[in-house]
């Protein structure tokens, strides 16, 4: 695992951290530096931005509500949030809760509205801005849907902004409060949080660096871009230790009843151009990825400016791994090599463990 962490570093990633939990114990690896100025080591079990891994927590709350008969996967968005999904051909009557959680809604991704110009100038100019969920959905509603709901798959952060709004509508409490009450507190995940628009990571943490243009400099992007880093689609922070405990508990059935866990694990194929390995399927806030040694793993990734994170558990819940890479290249070929090295690390770690 250390060799694989070094290989990921050698693709140009400034800092790499890995935590693998197995029945035989915990294995960790670090490579690179915690920041490029002081050259300090990568933080040991430091705080991380979880990015879209937040979606698995939100989906878990939604499925708990399904298990409590307070929500149905087949309910339409219009029934739950009247008038919110409409305009430009968008129709909340045709989109179900399942479509939101499985990215089969066809709704436009608001991210392209809040970061239309991929440049360091835009990052610095807008990184302190924040939007209400309703505002983000309204931005997405200006665009026609990509396809009729339920007919295809396409990842859209707008889906989970709506999921967070549904949680609040049903429970009377924010999705953040529900995640704390239903997941973080029962599992004792004291170093996982829902900071919303608070921009600073607790210490210790490894700095994140984004290259905004090919051959451009690495920009310290440890402060998030709040227009898309502050909601139910990707705002949580935590540690690798906590993430591994969460995914182990989820896959082992400690958070969901059998019927809801089975629904979460029921996948649709992810297209080859969907940015995932061949054979990947998307469930409800949970991806299935094949392993080279047979079988596969369940998990979710997250990314933002300057970081990529992957958290996963084997399908039996006995082995969990979290990998964080703390810089991102603007060169598509280099970025692809980094992604391949990260996926190889996970595959090797889970396949080698007995």
- Which residues are known catalytic residues? 52
CA–CA gap between residue 182 and residue 274 (Å, rounded): 31
CA–CA gap between residue 50 and residue 220 (Å, rounded): 17
CA–CA gap between residue 28 and residue 47 (Å, rounded): 15
To which residue do tokens 């989820």 refer? 250
CA–CA gap between residue 224 and residue 160 (Å, rounded): 19
Using alpha carbons, list the distances in angstroms from residue 148 to 73, 85, 94, 154, 157. 18, 13, 8, 11, 17
CA–CA gap between residue 339 and residue 344 (Å, rounded): 9
**Local structure of residue 36 (DSSP, 8 states):** T
CA–CA gap between residue 275 and residue 352 (Å, rounded): 25
């Amino acid at each position: 695992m250390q060799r694989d962490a070094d290989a990921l570093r050698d693709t140009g990633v400034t800092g790499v951290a890995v935590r693998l939990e197995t029945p035989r114990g915990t294995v960790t690896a670090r490579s690179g530096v915690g920041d490029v100025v002081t050259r300090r080591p990568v933080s040991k079990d430091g705080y991380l931005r979880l990015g879209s891994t937040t979606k698995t927590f939100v989906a878990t709350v939604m499925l708990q509500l399904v298990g409590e008969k307070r929500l149905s996967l087949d309910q339409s968005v219009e029934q739950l949030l009247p008038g919110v999904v409409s305009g430009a051909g968008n129709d909340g009557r045709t989109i179900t809760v399942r479509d939101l959680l499985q990215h089969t809604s066809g709704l436009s991704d608001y991210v392209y509205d809040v970061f239309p110009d991929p440049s360091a100038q835009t990052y610095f100019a807008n990184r302190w801005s924040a939007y209400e969920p309703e505002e983000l959905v309204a931005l997405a509603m200006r665009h026609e849907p990509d396809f009729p709901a339920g007919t295809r798959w396409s990842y859209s952060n707008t889906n989970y902004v709506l999921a967070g709004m549904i949680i609040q509508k049903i429970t009377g409490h924010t999705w953040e409060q529900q995640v704390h009450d239903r997941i973080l507190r029962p599992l004792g995940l004291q170093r996982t949080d829902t900071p919303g628009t608070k921009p600073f990571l607790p210490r210790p943490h490894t700095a994140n660096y984004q290259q905004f243009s090919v051959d451009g400099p690495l920009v310290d992007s440890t402060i998030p871009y709040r227009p898309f880093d502050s909601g139910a689609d990707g705002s949580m922070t935590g540690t690798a230790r906590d993430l591994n405990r969460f995914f182990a508990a989820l896959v082992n059935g400690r958070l969901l009843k059998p019927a809801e866990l089975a629904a979460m694990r029921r996948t649709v194929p992810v297209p080859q151009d969907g940015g995932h390995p061949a054979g990947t399927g998307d469930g409800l806030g949970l991806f299935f990825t094949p392993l080279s040694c047979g079988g596969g793993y369940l998990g979710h990734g997250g990314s933002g400016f300057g970081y990529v994170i992957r958290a996963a558990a084997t399908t039996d819940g006995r082995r969990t791994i979290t990998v964080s890479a703390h810089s991102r290249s603007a060169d598509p070929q280099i970025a692809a090599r980094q992604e391949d090295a990260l996926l190889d690390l996970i595959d090797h770690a889970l396949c080698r463990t007995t």
